[in-house]
């Protein structure tokens, strides 16, 4: 095939379409972020004057602080639990018998495709019967149902390219199965673990629908944003949103940098 | 002293019998090769010795200890994998030291012994590299050093040179053999390459279909194959059906096609036997009227150092003949030639 430049009409059309789509996705976020720096008491674009007023308000507000704290707490419990359970499940699927593998995999990741409203309703029923609604005892397991699939997929993908011969080599050198896993497998599939962990954290931190079913007194950040939107649209919401976006973006950048570190550094095979 | 002893070892996978009753003793400091075609059960046998595969029947003793059901990490067995299986996230030094670390050896001591092991395989100076930063031949040596540093009761190698080019393979052969002698290691080597087996081993076990077809020294196996399978597997051979014409004591006269040959072995007149003559034992020269065996060249293959002729002799029998390349005076197809089969060259298979 002859080499072709990037200036073909088809390529330009594609580039234009891509740019428009990206702008459509990013612009609302950008506008929101700009608005959050308003010094006025109402939302407008562009803001007549800029300041950190609403950030100060939000960071000082006990309700926002409380909500942020419960969201962080929940995510901080959910993330390691998802990693342990999801990694064990991925290992079991990878090493276990072929029979039934696809079925079990399908069941494990089904919460990803189930509508969250259905999932939330089901979990709500169970939590009511067990009288654990409106507590970490129901919210954490509920979040796990949606975060574990991400870990299973991410770790499972890493295991696909992992050479089981390395574990055998470790065993022949005197490592039992656990130590082989700990010293050899886990370090090598670390990109999958980190990726799955970050996904799990973001999914839990962002989760709205299922939590909405279960929480009454408990306020998470997404619930708080939703509630405050219902009564008033104050610039504080823009500030909270901007902070959330910044945190998510920071995590994502960390993820990408991590991937580059892994690919460009030691693991070259 | 035996390093490893297999006693009636069997491995079945469902209906497939991968290993079908192997008895084998590997002496301390011995280099033993399991040789056989693909699928004959070499790897399975090795995996059972390493502990990754449980035998369906039989016993395995390693270093005087019944190890049949011991998990791999509790056997003191070193293993070199075909793809080397080096840990990509560890430096070469850490790779080599891994076995010592699992044995609870202190860090400084580990470092020292790993350094020594790397020196033995001539890789001093590369200790802080990662496996992805060295060549295939070097990786091979690291794998060797890693398996040696734990001072295993036996070292197992499954087709370790398969991924190397011919030159490197030849060099590694010599290096491995020298190292094994120098350190007095007991070693089981798996290959399907008969040249590799012949050039390195103290003894060779020729396997087919999960059984040992012959166990012996390279010379014994090459020159005195116990059966047709071994005769054919160990390099080129002329295998001729023959009938005993005359027998007295341990000498006999046999007829194979148009050839009348003297052989040794206690045979009875009138019996049918199989005769093996290695192609390089047959002499080839210009046709002359007085020659005992005359024939015509049917084909010639140039192999660099040697020539491989196919000669059809009187009576229609075709013989392979290999001779060093004389440079000039090569025979071409159609040339009449005389063959000389010296006394002792024909071997009665199984005698
Ligand atoms: N896990 C398994 N399940 C079923 N059959 C197996 C298994 N492992 C090996 N076999 C069968 O056992 C036989 C011996 O296999 P093995 O790997 O020991 O052969 P090999 O001599 O090492 O061959 P190669 O030279 O090709 O490596 C083969 O027929 C193989 O198909
Ligand atoms: Mg094999």
Q: What is the pLDDT of residues A163-220, one digit of tens each?
A: 999 999 999 999 999 999 999 999 999 989 988 998 899 899 989 999 988 888 888 9
Mean pLDDT confidence for B118-146: 93
What is the pLDDT at residue B230?
95
Q: Given an 8 Å threshold on Cβ–Cβ distance, is A171 in contact with B72?
A: yes
Percent residues over pLDDT 90 in chain A: 40
Work out how many domains chain A is built from and give that number. Answer: 1
Q: Identify whether the C-beta of residue B223 lies closer than 8 Å to the C-beta of residue B204.
A: no
| Ligand 1 binding site (Cβ under 6 Å of any ligand atom) | B 13, 16, 18, 36, 38-44, 192
Q: Tell me, what's the pLDDT at A268? A: 36
CB-nearest to B89 from A175, A179, A187 is A187
State the ligand closest to the CA atom of B19.
1
What's residue A265's pLDDT?
A: 41
Residue A24 within a domain: no
**Residue A12 resides in a domain:** no
- On chain B, the residues whose CB falls within 8 A of the CB of A181 are none
The answer to whether residue A49 is domain-embedded is: no
**The two three-digit tokens of residue A34, written as one number:** 């700009």
pLDDT reported for residue B215: 97
Question: DSSP for B302-322?
Answer: E-SSEEEEEEEETTS-EEEEE
ipTM of the complex in this document:
0.84
Mean predicted confidence (pLDDT) in A82-107: 92
Across chain B, the runs of DSSP E, i.e. the strands, are: 2-13, 16-27, 31-35, 57-62, 65-66, 77-80, 154-158, 187-191, 203-208, 211-216, 238-248, 251-256, 259-264, 272-277, 283-286, 293-302, 306-313, 318-324, 336-340, 347-348
User: Which range among A33-42, A256-265, B69-78, B185-194 shows the weakest confidence by mean pLDDT?
Assistant: A256-265
Q: Which CATH number do you get for residue A120?
A: 1.10.3720.10
B160 in A contact zone (CB under 8 Å)? no
Q: At a CB cut-off of 8 Å and minimum separation 6, what does B162 contact?
A: B82
Choose between B322 and B162: higher pLDDT. Answer: B322
Residues composing chain B? 351
Domain span at A193: 61-268
Q: Residues B252-272: pLDDT tens digits?
A: 999 998 888 999 888 888 889
Whether the bond into A46 is cis, omega within 30 of 0? yes
Query: Which region, left, alpha or beta, applies to residue B32 given φ > 0 means left and ψ of -120 to 50 means alpha?
Result: beta
pLDDT, mean over chain A = 87
Of A163, A172, A187, the CB nearest to B72: A172
Greatest Cα pair distance, chain B, in angstroms, is: 80
Residue B120: phi, psi to the nearest 5?
-60, -40
Q: What angle do CA A204, A206, A210 make, to 5 degrees?
A: 70
Nearest by CB to residue B89, choosing from A174, A180, A266, is A266
Does position B113 have pLDDT exceeding 90, yes or no?
yes
Q: How far is it, in rounded angstroms, from Cα A90 to Cα A159?
A: 8
For residue A194, give both structure tokens: 């980190």
Residues on chain B touching A166 (C-beta within 8 angstroms): 85, 87
Residue A101 lies inside a defined structural domain of this protein: yes
**3-class secondary-structure state, position B68:** coil
Structure tokens at B297: 């060249």
Q: Is residue A110 part of a domain?
A: yes
Structural domain includes residue A253: yes
Angle at the Cα of B140 from the Cα atoms of B138 and B144, rounded to 5 degrees? 115
Q: Assess if residue A22 is contained within a domain.
A: no
Q: Which of the ligands is closest to the CA of residue B193?
A: 1
Contacts of B89 in chain A (CB under 8 A): 187-188, 266-267
Do the chains contact at B87 and A184, CB–CB below 8 Å? yes
Question: How much is the pLDDT for B197?
Answer: 95
Q: Is A39 inside any structural domain?
A: no
Q: Whose CA is nearest to atom 19 of ligand 1?
A: B39
- Average pLDDT of the residues in A93-99: 89
Residues of A in contact with B70 (CB under 8 A): none
Local confidence band at B22 (pLDDT 50, 70, 90 cut-offs): very high
Residue A2: the pLDDT is 56
Q: Which residues of chain A have a Cβ shorter than 8 Å from any chain B Cβ?
A: 163, 165-166, 168-176, 179-180, 183-184, 187-188, 266-269
Mean pLDDT value of segment B153-173: 90
Q: Is A132 helix (H, G, I), strand (E, B) or coil?
A: coil
């Amino acid at each position: 095939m002859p080499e072709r430049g990037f200036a073909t009409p088809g390529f330009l059309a594609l580039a234009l379409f891509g740019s428009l789509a990206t702008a459509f996705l990013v612009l609302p976020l950008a506008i929101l972020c700009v608005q959050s720096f308003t010094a006025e008491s109402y939302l407008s674009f562009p803001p007549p004057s800029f300041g950190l007023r609403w950030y100060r308000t939000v960071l000082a507000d006990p309700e926002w602080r409380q909500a942020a704290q419960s969201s962080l707490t929940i995510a901080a419990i959910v993330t390691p639990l998802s990693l342990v359970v999801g990694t064990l499940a991925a290992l079991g699927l990878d090493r276990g018998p072929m029979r039934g593998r696809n079925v079990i995999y399908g069941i494990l990741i089904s919460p990803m495709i189930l509508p969250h409203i259905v999932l939330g309703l089901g979990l709500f029923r169970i939590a009511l019967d067990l009288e654990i609604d409106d507590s970490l005892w129901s919210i954490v397991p509920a979040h796990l149902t949606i975060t574990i699939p991400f870990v299973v997929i991410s770790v499972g993908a890493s295991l696909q390219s992992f050479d089981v011969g390395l574990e055998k080599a470790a065993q022949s050198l005197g490592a039992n199965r656990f130590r082989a896993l700990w010293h050899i497998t886990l370090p090598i599939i670390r990109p999958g673990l980190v990726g799955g962990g970050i996904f799990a954290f973001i999914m839990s931190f962002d989760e709205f629908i299922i939590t909405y079913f279960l929480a009454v007194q408990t306020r998470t950040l997404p619930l708080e944003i939703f509630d405050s939107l219902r009564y008033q649209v104050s610039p504080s919401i823009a500030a909270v949103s901007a902070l959330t976006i910044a945190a998510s973006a920071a995590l994502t950048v960390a993820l990408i940098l991590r991937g580059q570190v892994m690919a460009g550094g030691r693991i070259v095979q | 002293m035996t390093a490893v002893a297999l006693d009636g070892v069997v491995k079945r996978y469902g209906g497939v019998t991968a290993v079908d009753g192997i008895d084998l003793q590997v002496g301390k400091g011995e280099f033993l090769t399991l040789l056989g075609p693909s699928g004959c059960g070499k790897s399975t046998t090795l995996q059972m010795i390493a502990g990754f595969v449980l035998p369906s029947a039989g016993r395995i003793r390693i270093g005087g200890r019944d190890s049949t059901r011991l998990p791999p990490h509790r056997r003191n067995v070193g293993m070199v994998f075909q793809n080397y299986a080096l840990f990509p996230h560890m430096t070469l030094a850490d790779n080599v030291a891994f076995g010592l670390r699992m044995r609870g050896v202190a860090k400084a001591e580990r470092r020292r012994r790993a350094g020594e092991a790397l020196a033995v395989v001539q890789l001093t100076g590369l200790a802080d590299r990662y496996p992805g930063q060295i060549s295939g031949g070097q990786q091979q040596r690291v794998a060797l050093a890693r398996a040696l540093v734990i001072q295993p009761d036996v070292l197992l190698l499954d087709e370790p040179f398969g991924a190397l080019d011919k030159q490197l393979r030849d060099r590694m052969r010599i290096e491995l053999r020298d190292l094994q002698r120098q350190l007095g290691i007991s070693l089981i080597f798996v290959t399907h390459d008969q040249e590799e087996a012949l050039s390195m081993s103290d003894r060779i076990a020729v396997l087919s279909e999960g059984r040992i077809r012959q166990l012996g020294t390279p010379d014994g196996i090459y020159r005195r194959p116990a059966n047709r399978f071994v005769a054919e597997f160990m390099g080129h051979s002329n295998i001729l059906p023959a009938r005993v014409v005359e027998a007295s004591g341990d000498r006999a006269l046999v007829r194979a096609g148009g050839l009348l040959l003297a052989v040794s072995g206690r045979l009875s007149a009138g019996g049918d036997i199989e005769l093996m003559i290695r192609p390089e034992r047959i002499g080839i020269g210009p046709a002359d009227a007085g020659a005992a065996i005359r024939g015509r060249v049917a084909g010639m293959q140039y192999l660099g150092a040697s020539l491989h002729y196919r000669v059809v002799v009187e009576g229609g029998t075709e013989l392979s003949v290999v001779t060093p390349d004389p440079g000039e005076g090569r025979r071409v197809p159609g040339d009449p030639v005389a063959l000389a089969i010296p006394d002792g060259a024909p071997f009665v298979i199984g005698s």
